[in-house]
Amino acid sequence: MSVTRRRSFLAANRWTVVTIVALLVTMMLQYCVSAGAAAVSSPSWSMSAGPELKKGEPDFGEAKTAVLPGSGIIVAYKSGQMLALHAKTGERLWKFGSNLLPYFYAADNTIYTVTRSGQLVSVNSQGKLNWSAKTGPFQPGDRILLLDYLYVLRGDRIQAFGRQSGKLIWETAELKGTEVPTQLQLMNNLLLGERKLPGAAALGEVFAYDRATGKKLWTLRGHRLPVSAGQGELLAAVIPQPFPGDPINLTFTYSAIDPKTGKVGASYVFRHSLASNDAFSVKFVPTSIVNGSTLYILWGDTIEAYNLGEAALRTKPIRSIIQPKRVYPTGEIAYNQLIMEDPTTGRVSAVRLDTGEHKVWDNEKTPHYRATIIGRGLYQMYEDGTLIAFDLRSGQRIFTAATGQGGVQSLLRAGPYLIAVKQSKLNGYTLPEILR
């Protein structure tokens, strides 16, 4: 065929050619995915001025960056200021303040922060001040949480502010040396919380306040945060002792709690005998996780599921699966998978709650120091700065990114964009559709 004829043929059939090429590319990509190949992802943008702290500045960890859900905006701390960046491009949109602490809490299209002089500040998504209110000194370990009110949590007190007005609604007074609540939740007219007891690693307490007035109603030691069992009943796990008298024949107890008084009523005792006395199973302290109306107890060799919705069935397991060794529960359940972690490497795996399959996404020998789950993705962060993303549902490795020297401190997700936060740099990535 002559050159002229070939050109004429290609011109006449250009859409057919384009279609064939597109199909070939698609087939190649599908082959790569099925073969386990992972794309190498480069950042869409990078900003050298990351959330650095100067000498002497308090470190609030990951709270020195935050993302405004639904807005495509992330905020980062820099020299007493809040910098707002576009998650897609890294473009600087605005800055706010001059004397802020490196702590940001984003919720309800608003960013909350605290100044060094102890002012609680509310800022909208355009970088404008909504309100400011006196809250007092704010230290690492203190937290902000938005529920019905905006709560400022400290060890010696809890403050409730109006989320729109900034008005102080109520304030509690706790004993000196009291720990900051680790959890806080609303249940009917109660504000329920859990905290550790100072100097007692295995002990803790739960407490209840009247959510409208802040009046303390009751405190109960040696229990975890209660869960609702329906019909106004609360069930709270009794904190198990790390060295039981009988390491083979185990028990785990839930107490029925009167929500008005905190008094303990009936007790539900779950029993299990270890099938073997291997070192892991014997040393493992039984723990429980509630998912909807199902209670899961990890005994060390077995994970047993119980129905919390029916009192007659509570202490009889509805199914059992084998518990893998050397990994411990993170307390998170995602896509019907109980997320586990190896404390020696930080490697994350999962136990499918329907089949009992133990899924290990990453078989790399090099240990990583951190893993996090965001949406559909499991992200492994290595000490050398490597970031590997997996599809949490299938376990397929999706992409690998070299973020630069030094490990990733935290990850932020803003819509289809992922931001890797490092010591002195921010990297922005566009997530593939499968992880969105």
pLDDT at 6: 44
Residue 30 has pLDDT above 70, yes or no: no
Residue 287: is its pLDDT beyond 50?
yes
Q: Which residue has the higher pLDDT, 21 or 43?
A: 43
pLDDT on residue 188: 87
pTM score, whole prediction:
0.85
Q: What is the pLDDT of residues 85-139, one digit of tens each?
A: 999 999 999 999 999 999 999 998 999 999 999 999 999 999 999 999 999 999 9
3-state DSSP of 160-209:
EECCCCCCEEEECCCCCCCCCCCEEEEECCEEEEEEEECCEEEEEEEEEE
Write the pLDDT tens digit of every residue in 306-345. Answer: 998 776 667 889 999 999 999 999 999 999 999 999 888 8
Q: What secondary structure, in 3-state letters, does the chain show?
A: CCHHHHHHHHHHCHHHHHHHHHHHHHHHHHHHHHCCCCEECCCCEEECCCCCCCCCCCCCHHHHEEEECCCCEEEEEECCEEEEEECCCCCEEEEECCCECCCCEEECCEEEEEECCCEEEEEECCCCEEEEEECCCCCECEEEEECCCEEEECCCCEEEECCCCCCEEEECCCCCCCCCCCEEEEECCEEEEEEEECCEEEEEEEEEEECCCCCEEEEEECECCCEECCCCCEEEEECCCCCCCCCCEEEEEEEEECCCCCCEEEEEEEEEECCCCCHHHHHCCCEEEEECCEEEEECCCEEEEEECCCHHHCCCCCEEEECCCCCEEEEEEECCEEEEECCCCCCEEEEECCCCCEEECCCCCCCCCEEEEECCEEEEECCCCEEEEEECCCCCEEEEEECCCCCCCEEEEECCEEEEECCCCEEEEECCHHHC
The pLDDT of residue 7 is above 60: no
Per-residue confidence band for 52, with pLDDT thresholds at 50, 70 and 90: low
**By percentage, how much of the chain surpasses pLDDT 70?**
86
**With 70 as the cut, is the pLDDT of residue 365 above it?**
no
Higher model confidence: residue 377 or residue 3? 377
pLDDT tens string 199-231 = 655 578 999 999 999 999 999 999 999 887 666
The confidence score (pLDDT) of residue 276 equals 80
Q: What band does 347 get if pLDDT is binned at 50, 70 and 90? A: confident
CA–CA separation, 1 vs 288, rounded Å? 75
pLDDT band at 49 (very low <50, low <70, confident <90, very high): low
159-178 tens-digit pLDDT: 999 999 999 999 998 877 78
Percent above pLDDT 90 for the chain: 60
Whether 18 shows a pLDDT value over 50: the answer reads: no
pLDDT at residue 383, rounded to an integer: 85
What is the mean predicted confidence (pLDDT) over 394-413?
A: 90
Look at residue 253 in the predicted model and tell me its pLDDT: 94
One-letter identity of residue 46: S
174 or 372: which leads in pLDDT: 372
**Residue 149: pLDDT band by 50, 70, 90 thresholds?**
very high
pLDDT of residue 126: 95
